[in-house]
């Protein structure tokens, strides 16, 4: 008998994915997790009824969350990833050889373990890199208590339901701003602006209270159904989101010119060119 798995994130919109083979389906300590294979999207992971990862298009989200802030900053040496237990953002960040350390703070150890077992190509050895430090903890508590300062903080969170909800609060963003080094950048997963407009608008409002430059950029990941995905952007250095493609290309070449499947200097610049309906959400 065929099995279809339904995504239940949106109140008036449902998507079902055919599960050709279920590899894992159980409750972890914090959430319900299912991993299955699908003919169109590859191997898929869902948490609490929401698609988190699909192997056929993971490169889009992971490249854009990691490379946009790192190439914009240009001098980052110390990075914090909150969430991201699948290891994809960690993998892409570590391609920047000048990074000295990347701390990954994940609340659910089971996500890391299951992804290393069922999605080994997503982290692609990143967890074994000597620059990687894994902290199993609530990300809000970690940023509130750490004495460290990071050049870039990437919040690779689930949507604001379940354990991920606290990662969309003003208190958390305030602690992130404190944990950033001077001129640092905060990037966040901020949902689909067409279907989750209130989420992006609220985060941008908080960012404007805390940072000199608050904005967003977009990328389209097919397995995140409902339109383009928005990434929140916050920094005290307004020049960073306006770096010219020529300079980005030089930074990419200096970093080794590694191959990418979605990110490019031109794509980075274009990602900040927001449609009016999205711009209205992030500007006062």
Just list the catalytic residues.
Answer: 156
Are 175 and 188 spatial neighbours (Cβ–Cβ below 8 Å)? no
Spatial separation of the C-alpha atoms in residues 168 and 159, rounded to whole Å:
9
Spatial separation of the C-alpha atoms in residues 92 and 64, rounded to whole Å:
9
Joined together, the tokens standing for residue 113 give 């373990």
Measured over the CA atoms of residue 55, residue 58, residue 60 and residue 63, the dihedral's sign is negative
Report how far apart, in Å, the C-alpha atoms of 247 and of each of 119, 244, 251, 254 are. Answer: 34, 5, 6, 11
Q: Is 230 exposed, middle or buried (0-12, 13-18, 19+ CB in 10 A)?
A: buried
Of 164, 174, 106, 170, which Cα lies nearest the Cα of 144?
174
Q: What's 241's DSSP letter?
A: G
Spatial separation of the C-alpha atoms in residues 69 and 234, rounded to whole Å:
10
Spatial separation of the C-alpha atoms in residues 68 and 48, rounded to whole Å:
28
């Amino acid at each position: 008998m065929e099995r279809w798995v339904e995504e239940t994130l949106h109140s008036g919109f449902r998507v079902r994915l055919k599960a050709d083979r279920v590899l894992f389906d159980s409750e972890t300590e914090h959430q319900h997790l299912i991993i299955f294979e699908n003919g169109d999207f590859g191997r898929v992971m869902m948490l609490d009824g929401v698609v988190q990862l699909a192997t056929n298009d993971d490169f889009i989200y992971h490249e854009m969350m990691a490379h946009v802030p790192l190439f914009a900053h240009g001098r980052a040496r110390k990075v914090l990833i909150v969430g991201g237990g699948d290891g994809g953002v960690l993998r892409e960040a570590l391609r920047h050889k000048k990074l000295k350390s990347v701390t990954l703070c994940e609340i659910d150890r089971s996500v890391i373990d299951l992804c290393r077992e069922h999605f080994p190509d997503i982290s692609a050895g990143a967890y074994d890199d000597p620059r990687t430090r894994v902290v199993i903890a609530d990300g809000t508590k970690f940023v509130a208590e750490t004495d460290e300062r990071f050049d870039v903080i990437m919040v690779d969170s689930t949507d604001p339901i379940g354990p991920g909800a606290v990662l969309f609060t003003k208190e958390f963003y305030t602690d992130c701003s404190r944990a950033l080094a001077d001129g640092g950048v905060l990037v966040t997963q901020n949902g689909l602006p067409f279907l989750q407009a209130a989420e992006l608008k609220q985060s941008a409002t908080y960012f404007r209270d805390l940072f000199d430059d608050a904005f967003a950029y977009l990328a389209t990941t097919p397995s995140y159904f409902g339109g383009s995905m928005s990434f929140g952007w916050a920094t005290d250095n307004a020049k960073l989101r306006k770096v010219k493609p020529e300079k980005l290309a030089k930074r990419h070449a200096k970093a080794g010119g590694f191959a990418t499947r979605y990110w490019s200097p031109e794509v980075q610049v274009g990602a900040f060119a927001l449609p009016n309906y999205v711009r209205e959400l992030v500007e006062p």
